[in-house]
């Protein structure tokens, strides 16, 4: 890792060499580490002209990633997902300009592929044969797919309520799936214990600082794809907090390298029944644990581990956080698909619902531009999607009542 300088504790500021275990020795589990790079050296190589000639995957930003010069990269193409203009959706949300960064186009259908790609590379470079994580679904299927493509074995701990399509994806990829009769917190605790016991590579972003480096590439891509112009706001759904924190880090690094002249403000969105970080933001304190209740399984987190990075990102970007009801999340699945042609899972549509609320409350100005992160494809939770949209019309083989139906919908005269 020629450009990695050190690891820095986000709690106390102590620095460590790159081969340090995942957390700060002084702060324990609260001492999440952050990767610091040699930015002066990177600036000489990572230029707009250099990027123009590179492959369109997340590896195009290799100077800002924790990989070696000769590292063998996974075969699956991760990153460079499209930024889509959505004028019809913008009007519904109340904005003049809205774009969607559709990370549902990644190989396993979610943004989590960015972190899992880093995990697979680092595990293989360290000689680890088994990789593991605890997940509500997307990180799990992402790790399982990436492991399968690189010859690694994956062990996945999932909470009991994980949607069936996500479980199926795991099994198709050959993972050892451990369905815990409990919550994400229970699954996480078991995973942490057995990673230590078995010497497995730990893919839990909440403690592993290297994986956030993969997530930040979504922010790097947004600016490059928008002609090196950052939008005014970027809306991201929040569970543990590391996705938004990672994306913000990407913007911050581009600004430090002089590749963009300003950074966006970050809007974090949680489901109202699983919003410990929203409460912490509003009250200016560390988050209190809660029992999460929401249809958005990918952000159903009651004990967020990466809260300090998240709240720092909101503060540094002069951003904000909002929460939304499950009904608003489900409603957003329907109108996002209908108005933008993008099928979002509940955690992804939460970003749209939260952005709409932020506009209504005057947090986001109607003339300001925004990008909403579509963190996962709706095919991962079709049950929730079906509950959010109308049922199909049932007609007889002879077409009786067909004209009546079409006329009622204004499709024929």
C-alpha to C-alpha distances, 240 to 102, 110, 201, 204, 275, nearest whole angstrom: 20, 16, 20, 10, 10
Q: pTM for this structure?
A: 0.93
pLDDT digits (tens, 9 = 90+) for 149-194: 999 999 999 988 888 888 888 999 999 999 999 888 899 899 999 9
- CA gap 140, 83 in Å, rounded: 25
pLDDT for 21:
78
- CA gap 65, 2 in Å, rounded: 10
Q: What residue ranges define each of the domains in the chain, with the CATH number in brackets?
A: 83-108+211-388 (3.40.50.1100)
- CA gap 37, 48 in Å, rounded: 19
Positions in the chain short of pLDDT 50: none
Phi first, then psi: give them for residue 58, nearest 5 degrees: -65, -20
- CA gap 271, 274 in Å, rounded: 5
Q: CB–CB of 177/158 below 8 Å?
A: yes
pLDDT for 204:
84
Q: CB–CB of 353/324 below 8 Å?
A: yes
The packing angle between helices 164-172 and 138-150, to 10°, is: 10
Length of the chain: 413
- CA gap 138, 297 in Å, rounded: 9
Q: Residue 32 contacts by C-beta under 8 Å, 6 or more apart in sequence?
A: 9, 10, 11, 23, 24, 206, 207, 209, 305, 306, 308, 309
- CA gap 82, 61 in Å, rounded: 17
- CA gap 291, 275 in Å, rounded: 10
pLDDT for 152:
94
């Amino acid at each position: 890792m020629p450009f990695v300088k050190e690891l820095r504790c986000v709690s106390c500021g102590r620095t460590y060499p790159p081969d340090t275990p995942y957390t700060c020795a002084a702060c324990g589990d609260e001492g999440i580490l952050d990767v610091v790079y040699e930015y002066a050296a990177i600036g000489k190589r990572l230029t707009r002209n250099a990027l123009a000639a590179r492959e369109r995957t997340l590896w195009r930003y290799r100077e800002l990633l924790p990989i070696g010069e000769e590292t063998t990269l996974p075969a699956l193409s991760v990153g460079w997902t499209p930024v889509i203009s959505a004028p019809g959706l913008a009007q519904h949300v109340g904005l003049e300009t809205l774009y969607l960064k559709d990370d549902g186009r990644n190989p396993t259908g979610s943004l989590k592929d960015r972190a899992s790609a880093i995990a697979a590379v680092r595990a293989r470079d360290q000689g680890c044969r088994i990789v593991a994580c605890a997940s509500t679904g997307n990180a799990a299927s992402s790790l399982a797919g990436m492991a399968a493509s690189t010859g690694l074995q994956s062990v996945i701990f999932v909470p009991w309520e994980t949607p069936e399509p996500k479980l199926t994806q795991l099994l198709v990829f050959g993972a050892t799936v451990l369905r815990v009769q409990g919550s994400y917190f229970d699954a996480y605790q078991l995973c942490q214990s057995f990673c230590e016991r078995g010497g497995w590579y730990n893919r839990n972003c909440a403690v592993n600082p290297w994986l956030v480096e993969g997530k930040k590439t979504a922010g790097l891509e947004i600016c490059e794809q928008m002609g090196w112009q950052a939008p005014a706001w970027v809306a991201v759904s929040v569970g543990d907090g590391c996705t938004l924190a990672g994306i913000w880090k990407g913007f911050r690094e581009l600004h430090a390298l002089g590749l963009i002249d300003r950074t966006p403000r970050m809007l974090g969105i949680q489901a109202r029944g699983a919003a410990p970080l929203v409460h912490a933001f509003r009250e200016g304190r560390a988050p209190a644990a809660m029992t999460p209740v929401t249809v958005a399984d990918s952000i159903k987190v009651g004990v967020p581990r990466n809260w300090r990075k998240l709240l720092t990102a909101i503060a540094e970007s002069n951003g904000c956080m909002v929460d939304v009801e499950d009904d608003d999340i489900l409603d957003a699945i329907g109108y996002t698909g209908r108005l933008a042609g993008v099928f979002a899972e509940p955690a992804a549509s939460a970003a749209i619902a939260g952005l709409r609320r932020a506009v209504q409350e005057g947090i986001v100005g109607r003339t300001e531009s925004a990008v909403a992160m579509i963190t996962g494809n709706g095919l991962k939770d079709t049950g929730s999607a079906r509950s959010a949209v109308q049922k199909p019309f049932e007609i007889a083989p002879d077409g009786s009542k067909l004209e009546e139906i079409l006329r009622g919908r204004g499709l024929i005269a």
